[in-house]
Amino acid sequence: MTDYPLYQCIDKEGHWVGEDERSTQEDLFTFYRHMLRIRTFDKKAVTLQRQGRLGTYALFEGQEAAQVGSALALDGQDWLFPTYRDHGATLTFGADMARTFLYWNGRFEGCTPPEGKNIFPPAVPIATQIVHAVGVAMTEKRLGSGKASIAYFGDGATSEGDFHEGLNFGSVFKTPTVFFCQNNGFAISVPMEKQMNSKTIAQKAVAYGIPGVRVDGNDCIAVFRTVQKALERARAGEGPTLVEAVTWRYGAHTTADDPTKYRDQAQSIEFRKTNDPLTRLEKYMKETGVWDEEWFAQLQTDLSNEINQAVEEMEAFPKPDVNNLFDHVFAEPVWPIAEQKSHYMDHLKGVIS
């Protein structure tokens, strides 16, 4: 642990403890705004799921600093490889909110990024996206584009082969990649100490000869600076970095699961009180006299409007089109699918064939 100190800029009480220069007022507003935005989104999604207006949803509340800090560090043209829990990061990076809701409604339309944005559909199988991020970075390196890639994953993902294969490839080929682990303490019900015997995730980087750093994942500024540094290194041709952002997720693994079975909820309540990423930044902003109640009230109104509008857009979206079941499997239709499609369309119309 001592070899991997937790990098912080503001501590839990909201005091500046960073050694570098402080963030500008504008940056603080930006960090806070994005964190509140995705928290509001997350809460809305849970409500919608409870009302039966969304399918199973993966919550991230508590991880806002990790997702916002890392996504804001990216250049708009970089590549982002999220998991099912990183829609906070993708929204911050520019994903469309209504479509993000659509994804959780079981629609392929939710997997498509806005024009010009390199956001891959969320990886559902654990760790599989880590190698993709490396492959993309190999292309960008070959093209000399200066673009980098970031792969998001959890603590549980470090047990899969793909994690190790990704770190090894990235290191051997010195790809411009950031391996961004949100260590939220649990992989569904399995706590970190049963997932691995190593004290930190950052230390796993040693085996691959790349830097591994630990950052307080509830400190948005620290995450932002850490990822920014890793990206600079990546773009300078020095290869990938493994970032371990230590954080906590308050709620269930997904809305389909009951966390009281395996996790002491008191811990989450305590975390919310003492180590919440938004509260921490708020304290610091208040301490430095930057906080503005009027701005905050306006922000809340704006965000709730934006989110309600996105929900409306999602619900007004055209009904799922059966053609989408068949039309995107291959670039050009192949006969088995074409034939199955035409038979099925006839069947739906009641044509007997």
Partner 1 sequence: MINLEKQSKTKQMTLVQAVNDALRVALESDANVLLLGEDIGRNGGVFRATDGLQEAFGEDRVIDTPLSESGIVGTGVGLAISGSKPIVEMQFMGFIYPAFEQIMTHVTRIRMRSMGTYSVPIVIRAPYGAGIRAPEIHSDSVEAFFTHMPGIKVVCPSSPADAKGLLLASLADPDPVLFMESLRLYRGEREEVPVEGYEIEIGKGKKVLEGNDVTLLAWGAMVPIIKKAASTVAKEGISCDVIDLRTLFPLDRDMIAESVQKTGKAVIVHEAHSTGGLGNDLVTLINDTSFLYMKAPVERVTGFDVPPPLGSLEDHFLPTESRVIAAIKRVIQF
- Rounded least distance, CB 89 to partner 1, Å: 18
SS (H, E, C) 89-142: HHHHHCCCHHHHHHHHCCCHHHHCCCCCCEECCCECCCCHHHHHHHHHHHHHHH
- Any catalytic annotation for residue 253? yes
Answer yes or no whether residue 247 interacts with ligand TPP by CB under 6 A.
Answer: no
Q: Specify the residue, 29 or 186, whose C-beta has the smaller distance to ligand TPP.
A: 186
Q: What residues numbered 296-335 form the site for partner 1, per CB under 8 A? A: 320, 322, 324-326, 329
Q: Which helix (H) or strand (E) holds 346?
A: helix 335-348
> Least distance from C-beta 17 to partner 1, angstroms?
34
Q: Is 187 in the site for ligand TPP (CB under 6 A)?
A: yes
Q: Which is nearer to ligand TPP, 7 or 186 (CB)?
A: 186
Closer of 93 and 153 to ligand TPP (Cβ): 153
- Integer Cα distance of 203 and 213 in angstroms: 8
CA–CA separation, 233 and 72 (whole Å): 17
Judged by beta carbon, residue 126 or residue 307, the one nearer ligand TPP is: 126
* Bridge-based pairing state of the strands 118-119 and 149-154: unpaired
Q: Which does 49 bind (CB under 5 to 8 A by kind): ligand TPP, partner 1, none?
A: none
Among residues 289 and 336, whose Cβ is nearest to partner 1? 336
Query: Binding residue for partner 1 (CB under 8 A) from 71, 97, 131, 157?
Result: 157
CB 200 within 8 A of CB 214: yes
Q: How far apart are CA 139 and CA 12, in angstroms?
A: 41
Contact residue for ligand TPP among 110, 154, 166, 259 (CB under 6 A): 154
DSSP, residue by residue, 39-61: HHHHHHHHHHHHTTSS-S----T
Active-site residue, 262 included = yes
Closest alpha carbon to 179 in 218, 139, 212, 140: 212
Residue 343 appears among annotated catalytic residues: no
Q: Is 212 helix (H, G, I), strand (E, B) or coil?
A: strand
Residue 55 binds which of partner 1, ligand TPP, none (CB < 5-8 A, kind-dependent): partner 1
Q: Please, how many CA atoms are within 13 Å of residue 112, restricted to the half-sphere of its CB?
A: 7
Quick one: which of 195, 200, 218, 275 contacts partner 1 (CB under 8 A)? 195
Which listed residue (96, 140, 155, 216) binds ligand TPP by CB under 6 A?
Answer: 155
Annotated catalytic residue within 15, 50, 262, 344: 262
3-class state of residue 7 by DSSP? strand
Give the residue among 65, 40, 62, 8 at the shortest CA–CA distance from 267: 62
Hey, which residues between 207 and 246 contact ligand TPP (CB under 6 A)?
none
Stretch of 39-47, 93-101, 189-197, 226-234 contacting partner 1, by CB under 8 A: 189-197
Which residues are near ligand TPP by CB under 6 A? 85, 124-126, 153-157, 184, 186-188, 253
Annotated catalytic residues are: 249, 253, 262
